[in-house]
Amino acid sequence: MKILAELARDLRAGATSSRALVEECLDRIVDTAGEGQRTFVKVHADTARVAADYYDRLRAHGIQPSPYAGIPVSIKDLFDLAGDVTTAGSTVLRDQPPAEADAPAIARLRAAGFIPIGRTNMTEFAYSGLGVNPHYGTPLNPFERDRRRIPGGSSSGAAISITEQMCHGAVGTDTGGSCRIPAAFCGITGFKPTQRRVPLAGVFPLSQSLDSVGPLAASVGCCAILDAFLAAESSPALDTREVRGARLAVPQRYVMDNLDPHVARSFGRALSQLSKARAELIELPLAELDAISRLNAKGGFAAAEAYALHRQRLDTQRAQIDPRVSMRILRGREQSAADYIDLFSARADLKRATERQLAPFDAVVLPTCATVAPMLEELESDEEYIRLNLLAVRNSTVVNLLDRCAVSIPCQEAGSAPVGLTLMGPHGGDRALLALAAAVEPLISPRRT
């Protein structure tokens, strides 16, 4: 699995071509045991080839465009792409008019020369952390695929498009962990930025209070490159940062409850590596996080705001919507206007309380998910689906509620079930967090081939 910096060097040196990269990805989409069909809801093969040939001709004539021009990326089915219908993992939106323009985030990637190779599958309306989709099929986790493990969601296809090398970068969204959960379950890297860092225009919403746009990729460095273009930064380069001396808070409550034994072992191993590298690890009760369960007791922001968006659709087309998604959206009916207003006050209190606790630290370290990726058969009952979804999203939701930035990095031993370690940084501290994560990554991640 090549990283973006290596691909850029190969393109500049003539060791590969954009057309070759595109064809390799298209071959993977077709040949990967049916996963391409479940991973993508639409593949832009012809336009990707045309764009690739254009960048190759530029380089052949001595014109060097962006270093990343001609590299194929996947786009989650929540983003407007000019000429496409944005279906949001659903079938009820198929009759909507095509988008007239790219979402600004996607336009920024195109301006940098990245080539959208297709639209990736996702949980319908982005409302689950498990990645199951009954309409387009559920792409399967590459780890123990014969056991049919789920990919995580809602950016399920985005994660599989990376793990199966169907592209070299993926754009997803993150409302309660939708970039980081599938990254953790599939053994790649996912980044959730501070919410307003990347524009949300042209992105089909789940929760206007929590939605954010972020990348999934093979490494922290790849995510940092994609993030820089998504956020219109002047340079994708990261500052050099050492792990030695970094002050890292390790919460002891809420995010550490009911951990799968393999997750607990992998996380403990990663902490040991960080300690050996002379990071300063400080255990914190961080009891303030206990308030999150009460804050989300009636579905929280996502249920209220999704219900406001979809209530008329549920009245007329409910039978065409995944019942497990519609069930969650309908929880928004439980909230009164007063309940919804109270959410904002409770969130502000939580942010203030945790800010006081976390101000002295460079980052907070926690397991991305409390469990490894479950198998599809474990989700057959609604009760288990609900339990496992809550367990999948519990830790990652913390970051969205606090409107901080976070990156999930693989931390399992090579060959074992993927586990993600999250580094959570302060609001607006995105590039500093990514610089620290880039230093942490080689200490904790399994060797990639």
pLDDT digits (tens, 9 = 90+) for 380-404: 999 999 999 999 999 999 999 999 9
Query: Region 142-161: what's the mean pLDDT?
Result: 97
> What pLDDT score does 33 carry?
75
Q: Taken in order 374, 386, 132, 78, is the CA torsion positive or negative?
A: negative
Is 50 exceeded by the pLDDT of residue 158?
Answer: yes
Residue 228 is inside which H or E element, if any? helix 220-230
Residue 429, number of CB atoms within 10 A of its CB: 17
Is 70 exceeded by the pLDDT of residue 449?
Answer: no
Lowest average pLDDT, out of 63-67, 73-77, 343-347, goes to 63-67
**Per-residue pLDDT band at 309 (split at 50, 70, 90):** very high
> What pLDDT score does 166 carry?
97
Please state, for a pLDDT cut of 70, what percent of the chain lies above it.
99
Query: Region 400-428: what's the mean pLDDT?
Result: 98
> What pLDDT score does 32 carry?
80
Among the four given CATH numbers 3.40.50.2020, 3.90.1300.10, 3.65.10.10, 3.90.550.10, the one describing domain 247-290+342-444: 3.90.1300.10
Tokens of 247: 């002050």
Is 50 exceeded by the pLDDT of residue 448?
Answer: no
**Per-residue pLDDT band at 1 (split at 50, 70, 90):** confident
Query: Region 272-290: what's the mean pLDDT?
Result: 97
pLDDT digits (tens, 9 = 90+) for 211-231: 999 999 999 999 999 999 999
Angle at 232 between CA 229 and CA 235, to 5 degrees: 70
**Per-residue pLDDT band at 447 (split at 50, 70, 90):** low
Q: Which long-range contacts (CB under 8 A, 24 or more apart) does 380-387 make?
A: 382/324, 382/327, 385/130, 385/132, 385/324
Mean of all residue pLDDT scores within the chain: 97
Query: Region 198-206: what's the mean pLDDT?
Result: 98
Name the residue ranges covered by the structural domains of the chain: 4-230, 247-290+342-444
> What pLDDT score does 68 carry?
98
Tokens of 209: 């209070």
Is 70 exceeded by the pLDDT of residue 336?
Answer: yes
> What pLDDT score does 241 carry?
95
Are both 4-230 and 247-290+342-444 of the same fold? Answer: yes
Query: Region 299-312: what's the mean pLDDT?
Result: 98
Residue 223, number of CB atoms within 10 A of its CB: 31
pLDDT digits (tens, 9 = 90+) for 99-134: 999 999 999 999 999 999 999 999 999 999 999 999
> What pLDDT score does 34 carry?
83
Residue 335 identity (one-letter amino acid): Q
Is 90 exceeded by the pLDDT of residue 201?
Answer: yes
CATH topology of domain 4-230: Amidase signature (AS) enzymes (3.90.1300)
Residue 319, number of CB atoms within 10 A of its CB: 8
> What pLDDT score does 338 carry?
97
DSSP 140: P
